[in-house]
Structure 1
Amino acid sequence: MKEKLTISEMARLRGLTPETLRHYDRIGLFKPHHVDIDSGYRYYSIFQYEVLGTIKELREIGMSTEEIKNYFNERNVSNSLSILERKHIDLIDRINELNEIEKSIQEKISWMREISKSKELMEVSVRELPIRSLIVHHDKVQTNLELCYGVIELENKLNEKAPIVGTNRLGVLIDKADLDNHKYNSSCRPFILERIKKKVKEHKLITIPHGKYVCIRYSGELWDRARCLEKAMHYIKENHFEIIGYTLQIAQIDISVTDVIDELVFELQIPIKHS
């Protein structure tokens, strides 16, 4: 056993790299006990083991080097407890954030597995859908350029982590009057489905009621909906239904997960009642 250790020996004892110790020296966090004037070699004392061990543990719990410097500036029970309590709060916040991200990823995986198995394109069905809340853009859009700006504005209203990629939350509202007048490619209002209550920044929500909807899916881009709507409208007329509100066009598979146009899928949901 010896008191004086080379940089490699000290690093090895604490499971660190020599470069880490050089970095700590450069930023003034952990200085060698002695530096040889002629060779420039750093030497450490075994009695510095506690300081380096504490630094290592504080880094493991997520403290920055600046926070660790502050920890050592006036180290006593009261200050150490206060610093650890603040770090504990930070860690709880981070854990909650990671839990939210994990839940979001799990939902994305489940949805993408479900939709990738579905082959029901251009087939009309009537489904009962639940009440939903939409974050809706204040202006209508008619071009991809306008759509891009509208979606960005909506996404900025969300206070969530990874809210859009691989989900079926993004879409547009089509006015009832446009369908009644067979204006299938008219302007529409972008929206995002609200997923988590109180996670929207100061924005009025639109409620879409529970009810029956004529639904049909197609592959292609947002503006390729005319043929699909024509088929849905024929079905509505043939079965003596009446449109009673906004039509929702929701991206099922969008450009966030594929660059292949033929893999893009949209679903149209038209609220109806018997006329």
Structure 2
Amino acid sequence: MKNKFSIGQMSKLHNTSIKTLRYYDEIDLFKPNEVDPETGYRYYSVEQFKLLDIINYLKALGVPLKEIKKQTSNRDMDDFIGTLHTHKQTIEEKMQELEIAKKKLEIRIEELESLKKIEQIGIPFIKEIEERTIIQLRESIQSLYDLELSLRKLNRQFHDFASIFIGKVGLTLSVHRFERNCFYEYDSIFLLLEEVEKWKVVQDGDLVTTLPKGAYACVYFRGVHETAPEYVALLHRYIMENELEPMGDFIIRTIVDQFISHNEDEFLMEIQIPIAMPGTKKREKH
């Protein structure tokens, strides 16, 4: 009985659960050397130890059981090296994806932490903003129903970028619609891409575009989309009173809503609109 090990003994010797050993048997990956025909007990031999070591080694590296079975069946050195190379590439791709996810989370944490300190709520101001890459779907959005359906369209087509929506979704409202008092009919929905995502962008017609670098009139406010029109109007008055010229659409972005905080005093939205400062065009001509 020196070279006869029960499944329980194999489990303890190799730190592999009995359930796992039984599963390996079922899928013909690692079968017992002997099965008692009367009791059904499984017995293994010392010659099988190395094979189980290799299986556990490859499994610890994350190699799928299907590939492990292929390797242990063929036992070809070139195949073994190829399996390791393939899995190394898989790991590198996963590491890259995790690094992108980490950076996206860091950006979101930094933004939310900084926004907790904002005191200039409901007061328009001007700031310079760098160019931003967005995925934009141009269609009329008149309700929450329309908004969610449009968002799902973006999600289906660009699911690689949609893993973290918080603070990245925005709507646009043209100055033309505003002047016609069409406050609740938006022109498009967009998803703001982080810097770390841009390398993955595949140009797809008009969907991938940019928000240009330049001066933007902005205002933060506490509320939801239903309260946005009054702040769009506030920002428009600010632009007119300061002799600024709108150079694009109003951009309305939800940063903190009921899905992040139950406290309505913490809700936060931002409206931006690109502008030309007084005399800008005249200076450009010279």
TM-score (norm 2): 0.86
User: Are 1:54 and 2:57 counterparts?
Assistant: no
Aligned residue pairs: how many? 274
User: Post-superposition shift, 1:259?
Assistant: 5.9
User: Are 1:244 and 2:247 counterparts?
Assistant: yes
| Aligned equivalent of 1:226, options 216, 226, 229 | 229
User: Are 1:31 and 2:34 counterparts?
Assistant: no
Who is 2:200 aligned against?
A: 199
| Deviations 1:48-75, CA, capped at 9 Å, x for gaps | 1101111101111112222111111210
Amino acid at match of 2:33: H
Who is 2:109 aligned against?
A: 109
User: Are 1:147 and 2:147 counterparts?
Assistant: yes
Q: Name structure 1 gaps, 5 residues minimum.
A: none
User: Are 1:272 and 2:285 counterparts?
Assistant: no
Contact 1:135 1:203 in 2 (8 A): no
Relative to structure 1, the CA distance from residue 70 to residue 229 in structure 2 (aligned partners, 3 Å threshold; closer, same or farther) is same
CA distance in 2, matches of 1:257, 1:165: 12
User: Post-superposition shift, 1:5?
Assistant: 1.4
| Deviations 1:31-90, CA, capped at 9 Å, x for gaps | 111222222221111221101111101111112222111111210212212222222222
User: Post-superposition shift, 1:159?
Assistant: 5.6
CA distance in 2, matches of 1:156, 1:255: 24
Q: Name structure 2 gaps, 5 residues minimum.
A: 279-286
Greater Cα offset, 33-42 or 5-14 = 33-42
CA distance in 2, matches of 1:114, 1:198: 27
Alignment map for 1:54-203 (pairs within 5 Å): 54-158=54-158, 160=160, 163-166=163-166, 168-195=167-194, 196-201=197-202, 202-203=204-205
Contact 2:58 2:68 in 1 (8 A): yes
User: Post-superposition shift, 1:258?
Assistant: 4.2
The alignment-based identity, stated in percent, is 27
Amino acid at match of 1:32: P
Higher helix share: 2
Relative to structure 1, the CA distance from residue 209 to residue 79 in structure 2 (aligned partners, 3 Å threshold; closer, same or farther) is closer
Amino acid at match of 1:49: F
Contact 1:100 1:161 in 2 (8 A): no
| Deviations 1:139-169, CA, capped at 9 Å, x for gaps | 1211111111111112333363554333x32
| Aligned equivalent of 1:209, options 197, 208, 212 | 212
Contact 2:155 2:162 in 1 (8 A): no
CA distance in 2, matches of 1:203, 1:156: 16
CA distance in 1, matches of 2:133, 2:17: 53
Partner SS for 1:197:
helix
Amino acid at match of 1:228: Y
CA distance in 2, matches of 1:154, 1:200: 13
CA distance in 1, matches of 2:227, 2:192: 22
User: Post-superposition shift, 1:264?
Assistant: 3.3
TM-score (norm 1): 0.89
Relative to structure 1, the CA distance from residue 92 to residue 206 in structure 2 (aligned partners, 3 Å threshold; closer, same or farther) is closer
Partner SS for 1:139:
strand
| Deviations 1:216-238, CA, capped at 9 Å, x for gaps | 11222223212212222222232
CA distance in 1, matches of 2:15, 2:217: 64
**RMSD across aligned C-alpha pairs, in angstroms?**
2.3
| Deviations 1:112-154, CA, capped at 9 Å, x for gaps | 2222333432122111112223321121211111111111112
Amino acid at match of 1:197: K
Amino acid at match of 1:221: V
CA distance in 2, matches of 1:255, 1:199: 31
